[in-house]
């Protein structure tokens, strides 16, 4: 399972009803990574980003109160994981903050993009124990830095 997120240098991931930046290359990278796979996200994240993914991408929305016509809804993160595993595809965890916090216990990798510049927001990527993770890939782009983190052996 892979946590995937873009954040500012001080971990902002959202502002009101979206992202406080416009970095098309990073957003396209996200869409490319998740294309044809399974993506778990909370309801607010789905309302902002869920409609952009490719049709062959399986979405699972975590919400205790929302029902959606065309998208499976899980009442809990654990239920979403079980539903995702049954699909047999790579599983990406795409936020928001509380979903990310729950995902730290089950994720093997993180694909994290740091957007260059300072941004204000009201949603943050949770702090995580960097002793449990190591950066295995770094790519510098003009507007962001992409890092792929892998969980260190025996760190669960």
Q: Could you give the domains of the chain?
A: 2-151 (3.40.430.10)
Residue 135 half-sphere exposure toward CB, CA atoms < 13 A = 8
Q: Does the pLDDT of residue 68 top 90, yes or no?
A: no
Region 87-113: mean pLDDT is 96
Give the Å distances, CA to CA, from 84 to 40, 128, 153.
8, 24, 24
Q: Which pLDDT band holds residue 50 (cuts at 50, 70, 90)? A: confident
pLDDT interval class at 55 (50, 70, 90)? confident
Long-range contacts of 125-133 (CB under 8 A, 24+ apart): 125/5, 125/7, 125/11, 125/12, 125/13, 125/97, 125/100, 126/11, 126/97, 126/100, 126/101, 127/11, 128/104, 131/155, 132/156
At 20-37, the pLDDT tens digits run: 999 999 999 999 999 999
Q: What is the pTM of this model?
A: 0.95
């Amino acid at each position: 399972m892979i946590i995937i997120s873009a954040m500012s240098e001080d971990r902002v991931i959202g502002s009101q009803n979206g992202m406080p930046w416009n970095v098309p290359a990073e957003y396209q990278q996200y869409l490319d990574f998740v294309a044809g796979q399974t993506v778990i996200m909370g309801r607010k994240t789905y309302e902002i980003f869920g409609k952009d993914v490719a049709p062959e991408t399986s979405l699972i929305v975590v919400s205790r109160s929302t029902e959606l016509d065309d998208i499976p809804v899980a009442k809990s993160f654990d239920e979403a994981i079980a539903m995702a595993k049954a699909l047999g595809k790579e599983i990406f965890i795409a936020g928001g903050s509380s979903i990310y916090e729950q995902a730290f216990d089950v994720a093997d990798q993180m694909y994290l993009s740091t957007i260059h510049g300072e941004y204000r927001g009201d949603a943050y990527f949770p702090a995580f124990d960097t002793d449990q993770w190591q950066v295995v890939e770094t790519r510098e782009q003009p507007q962001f830095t992409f890092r792929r983190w892998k969980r260190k052996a025996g760190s669960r």
